[in-house]
Structure 1
Amino acid sequence: MDSSSEASSMAQGLGIVRLVANREKCGRQLLGVSQLASELDMEQSRVSRLTKELCELGLLERVERGPFRTGPRFFGLAAALNTGWVRESRSELEALVASFGLRSRVSVREGFRVILLRASSNDAVPGSFVKPGMVTPVWCTGSGRALLWDDQQPAVRALLQGVNFIGVGGPGAAHSPQEVAELLDRDRARGFIVAEEEFEHGVYELAVPVRGAEGSILAALSVLGSRAEINSNTNDIARALTAAAERLRSHEGRDRDAGRKGLAS
């Protein structure tokens, strides 16, 4: 699958999730595969495949062969968007836009997939697939490798064992777990991720991990632009990303402290 067809699948998958969530929210009758296909004017076989993947991600769920409803991962993402550090990420993303004119994103990891939590205001146009919940591969995105920052080669190989690398990503994409691990080793030496046309042709991505108060990786903060835009200002962008990630870490720490105080009261 090339990047354009994967983008199409993501857009259609998000359309399915939105339809299911909206019907559930409004108390309307829930739908099965054939009804979803009719509502969205899609082939039934495609809806069947996409809903299966969405159920595997936990964004949808289905009891036996009944109608679809929103799954636990959907609510987890919704809850995450209400935490303080994710709310604060909006202003951090827009500050990066103001400073560098680049698209910026905050993402989290689910297995070997990267899930977009929030994107900057300049990162999408009407009808774009760039929306919260968008799924991309962990092995050929800057945000993905930032989320794998703490994983050593054996863990990377175990995570990506059995993944089909063929036809996914841009011309710079890795084609094996070993290549992903080697790129990580290279990136750690300079302190940040640079992904050169790894997911999309002509798109460079610079990324850093966002850590929680206790040190574990919560998310990835990234910017995307052309080769000239990234390479002309790499060190300044990296410093700005790292500073923003530290500010988000401090917000997460305050969230954690507030939660503990609430439990103690």
Structure 2
Amino acid sequence: MSSLENDKDYVLSLEKGIAVIKIFNQVNQKLTLTETAELLNMTRATARRFLKTLQVLGYLETDSKYFWLSPKILELSSAYYNSNPFAKMAQHYVKKISILTQETCTISILQNDSALCIAMHEIPRIMNVNIKVGDQLPLWLTANGRVLLAHTSSEKMCNILKNIDYKKYTECTVSDEQSLIQKLKQTKEHGYCIVNQEYEKSLVSLAVPLKNNHGEVIASIGITGADSRFNDFEISRNLEVMFKIAEEFKNINF
């Protein structure tokens, strides 16, 4: 039993209920009772209670065999955006940068050991960028992620680095801790990060930190597109746009 489960103030049933909601995604769009129980390592009886409760509350719909998320689930995300001025402002900035650079733009924040996308504006292309709001991407393998990782505390960085599985996504993927540490140092020194086809072949991402008016890095903003469009001239031009927006962002009080 974990320390959290021993904590009298920790509601384990709430954790399980949230896990049921999170199990639905692009792959698991509809699930049966049995599938839900198996995916979450629950008994059928336990899974049934959670599914039934979420259905009664309006967050799930069912045809008696399958369950799926209802539109009411959007209330949960809208509550975050409506109560967080930074999140509301983030969408304005990704759209602005996306239009100026003509590339898909995202803003991410540090969430445990991932870069959580909280805002995104897409420029339609033949080869679209497969990133959506709510996606959690590897800190070590994305430009947004490396910016966040480079500006976190030494202790947190060490904890994250020791748990990385250096899987080869492409032939360009960084393959060891020392190489990654060097890239993180360069990111902090240069004030930006570029990841060239390390996560997905033919895609390049470019990111800069977003700081509050106290100089603290609270997020990263990045653009992603085809490697053919990221020559030296375009990288320089796009960085100029992104640095200007980041400076503008720093003057806002949250």
The bucket for the TM-score relative to the shorter chain is: 0.5 to 0.7
Letter in 1 for 2:119: R
Greater relative CO (CA pairs within 8 A, separation 6+): 1
- Which residue in 2 is equivalent to 1:67? 50
Q: Secondary structure at the match of 1:117?
A: strand
Q: Does the aligned pair in 1 maintain the 2:205–2:224 contact within 8 Å?
A: yes
- Which protein has the larger Cα radius of gyration, Structure 1 or Structure 2? 2
Q: Does the aligned pair in 2 maintain the 1:119–1:131 contact within 8 Å?
A: yes
Structure 1 portions without partners, runs of 5+: 1-10, 20-32, 39-43, 53-63, 256-265
Within 5 Å, which residues of 2 pair with 1:1-265? 14-15=25-26, 34-35=32-33, 37=35, 48=39, 67=50, 78-82=78-82, 83-122=84-123, 130-151=131-152, 155-167=156-168, 169-231=169-231, 232-251=233-252, 253=253, 255=254
Question: More helix by proportion, 1 or 2?
Answer: 1
TM-score (normalizing by structure 2): 0.66
Could you list the per-position Cα deviations for residues 172-226 of structure 1 after superposition, in whole angstroms to 9, with x for gaps in the alignment? 2222332221101122333210111121111111101111222222111000112
Q: Does the aligned pair in 1 maintain the 2:104–2:129 contact within 8 Å?
A: no
Q: Secondary structure at the match of 1:67?
A: helix
Runs of 4 or more off by more than 3 Å in structure 1? 11-19, 74-80, 151-155
**Alpha-carbon distance in structure 2 between the residues aligned to 1:67 and 1:199:** 36
Structure 2 portions without partners, runs of 5+: 1-21, 60-73
TM-score (normalizing by structure 1): 0.64
| CA gap 1:94/1:178 in 2 versus in 1, 3 angstroms | same
| CA gap 1:17/1:93 in 2 versus in 1, 3 angstroms | farther
% identical aligned pairs: 14
**Alpha-carbon distance in structure 2 between the residues aligned to 1:86 and 1:199:** 26
Tell me how many residue pairs correspond in the alignment: 205
For the aligned residue pairs, the C-alpha RMSD in angstroms reads 3.5
| CA gap 1:78/1:16 in 2 versus in 1, 3 angstroms | farther
**Alpha-carbon distance in structure 2 between the residues aligned to 1:36 and 1:200:** 35
